[in-house]
Amino acid sequence: MTSYFPEHGDHRYGVSHYDLTLKYRVAANRLDGTARLTVSAAEPLSALDLDLGRFRISGVTVDGRSARYVHGKGKLRVTLPRPLPAGARAGIEVRYSGSPVPVPSLWGGLGWEELTDGALVAGQPIGAPSWFPCNDRPGDKASYRISVTTASPYQVIANGVLVAKRRTAGNTTWIYDQTEPMATYLASVQIGRYQLSEIAGTRLAHPARLATRVRRDFGRQGEMMALFTDRFGPYPFTGYTVVVTDDDLDIPVEAQAMSIFGRNHVDGMRGFERLIAHELAHQWFGNSLTVACWRDIWLQEGFAAYAEWLWSEASGGPPAADHAQRWHHRLTQLPQDFVLADPGAAMLFDDRVYKRGALALHALRQALGDEIFFPVLRAWTTEHRHGSVTTQEFAGHVQRHTSRPVGPLLSAWLHDKPLPPVAPLPRR
C-alpha cells in the first residue's frame, strides 16, 4: 500500500514518547531545541530516519552515547552505536537550532509559522518536522512533554495539561504534559499576547480586545460539548483549549485537545459557529481516533463535517437531512472522478472529501435509524479510543452492530466514483 507522503515517516520503528525542550525568541524567530525520543524497533535496526527541517544539528546521542548522523532534504539519518533488535527500545536525543520554516506542500507552508507578534503551529498533514525531529506518520502516536521558554509578556499554549510554569530573568518556561497518545501532526505550540479565560469548561486564549466577541461566539460551547458527548461518547481528553490569534487565518487549525481560530473567525454574531462545531468534533474523530494512513481522511473530515449538521439540527438550524439534500445537489454538479476512501494526496482536503463523507454517514443513519446509528458511533469511539483506524475497520464495525447488510451501501459511498442517491426529504 503506497503512502501519500513516502518521504515522511519510517515504518521500521515507532515512538512511544517525545520530550521537547524548546527556547524561542519571537522577534528573531529563533528556536533552540533538545528532543528526546523513546523509540521501539519493529525490525532489527542499524540506523533510523527522523523527519526534521532545516536546522543546525549540534549533536545526537543514542542511550547517552554519541551517534553519527547525516542531515539533509528533511531527513536526519541516525546510525545507531550498536544494532537494535526487533522489539528493543532506545532513547535518542537530538540538539538543534535555527529559524523554523514551514514545510512546503501542495497547500502552502505547513508547521511552525510566524505571526505578527508570536507564532503558531499548523501541522496537518506533514508540518511537524518544521519544529521537532519526529517519525512523521499519522499512525505512530506517542505521549509528549513540551517545555517552551520565551519572553514573559507572551502566553504559551501547547497540547495537554500545564504542569509547571517558571519565570526567570524576563523569560517564562511553560511545561505541558500530553499523556494520551498523539500523532505528530497534532502536536502544537501557540505563542502570543493572549488573555486567558474560561467558558463552560473550555479554556480560551485570545487578544484582550476581542474578549466580548470571543465569549459571544463560543457562548454555546457547553451545549455543543453536551450534544457531541451524547452522540459520540465521552470527551476523550482532560481538557479543551480554544486559541484565537490576532492574525487572520485561512481556516481554523486542528490540534489535539486544542483548536486555533483566526481573528477573522470571530464576529460577535456566531457567524462561524459551524467551524467551532467542526473543530470540536475533531477531538473524537481525528485526535482520539486518528487515521492510520492519510487515504482514510474521510474518517476525520467527513465525521467532523457531519457534526456540523448535527449541531445545526440540535441548535435550531436546518436539520441534517436539509444539509444533505443541499450538498448532494452541489456535488452532483462536480466531477465524479475520485474515490472517497482513497482520494489521492492532491485531493486530501477537497471539499468533496468533507461533504461526501458527511453524506455517507447520513445515508448510513437513514438506513440504520437513530436508535442504531448513534450507538454504533459511540461504540466506534469507545473501542478505538486513542488509537488508529481505517475505513475497512469502520465498515466491519458497523456490520457487527447490525443485522442489516450495510456492505453494498458503504461500498457505493466509499469505493465507487459515481455519487449515490440520497433519500428524498419527507413531506412537511
For 32, the 3-state DSSP assignment is strand
- Looking at the fold, whether 244 and 342 belong to one and the same domain comes out as no
- Looking at the fold, whether 108 and 248 belong to one and the same domain comes out as no
Q: For residue 287, give every residue at least 6 positions away whose Cβ sits within 8 Å of its Cβ, in sequence order, or none.
A: 182, 186, 236, 237, 254, 255, 256, 257
Q: Range of 34's domain?
A: 1-187
- Looking at the fold, whether 45 and 181 belong to one and the same domain comes out as yes
Number of domains in the chain: 3
- Looking at the fold, whether 158 and 50 belong to one and the same domain comes out as yes
| Any domain includes 219 | yes
| Any domain includes 421 | no
- Looking at the fold, whether 49 and 141 belong to one and the same domain comes out as yes
Give the end of a domain, one of 143, 165, 187.
Answer: 187
What pLDDT sits at residue 251? 96
CATH number at residue 261: 3.30.2010.30
Q: Which of 180, 254, 273, 279 is catalytic?
A: 279
CA gap 96, 261 in Å, rounded = 30
| Any domain includes 425 | no
- Looking at the fold, whether 90 and 132 belong to one and the same domain comes out as yes
What pLDDT sits at residue 226? 98
Contact between residue 305 and residue 349 where contact means Cβ atoms under 8 Å apart:
no
Q: For residue 388, give every residue at least 6 positions away whose Cβ sits within 8 Å of its Cβ, in sequence order, or none.
A: 138, 139, 141, 289, 290, 291, 292
Give the end of a domain, one of 130, 155, 187.
Answer: 187
What pLDDT sits at residue 428? 44
| Any domain includes 428 | no
Give the end of a domain, one of 170, 187, 204.
Answer: 187
* 282 annotated as a binding-site residue: yes
- Looking at the fold, whether 54 and 153 belong to one and the same domain comes out as yes
| Any domain includes 427 | no
| Any domain includes 34 | yes
- Tens digits of pLDDT across the chain (428 residues): 579 999 999 999 999 999 999 999 999 999 999 999 999 999 999 999 999 999 999 999 999 999 999 999 999 999 999 999 999 999 999 999 999 999 999 999 999 999 999 999 999 999 999 999 999 999 999 999 999 999 999 999 999 999 999 999 999 999 999 999 999 999 999 999 999 999 999 999 999 999 999 999 999 999 999 999 999 999 999 999 999 999 999 999 999 999 999 999 999 999 999 999 999 999 999 999 999 999 999 999 999 999 999 999 999 999 999 999 999 999 999 999 999 999 999 999 999 999 999 999 999 999 999 999 999 999 999 999 999 999 999 999 999 999 989 999 999 999 999 999 987 655 44
Nearest to 377 by CA among 232, 175, 170, 213: 232
| Cα dihedral sign, 212-206-182-274 | positive
CATH number at residue 386: 1.10.390.10
What pLDDT sits at residue 2? 76
What pLDDT sits at residue 424? 66
Q: Which of 96, 185, 354, 393 is catalytic?
A: 354
What pLDDT sits at residue 260? 98
Nearest to 374 by CA among 176, 164, 230: 230
354 catalytic, yes or no? Answer: yes
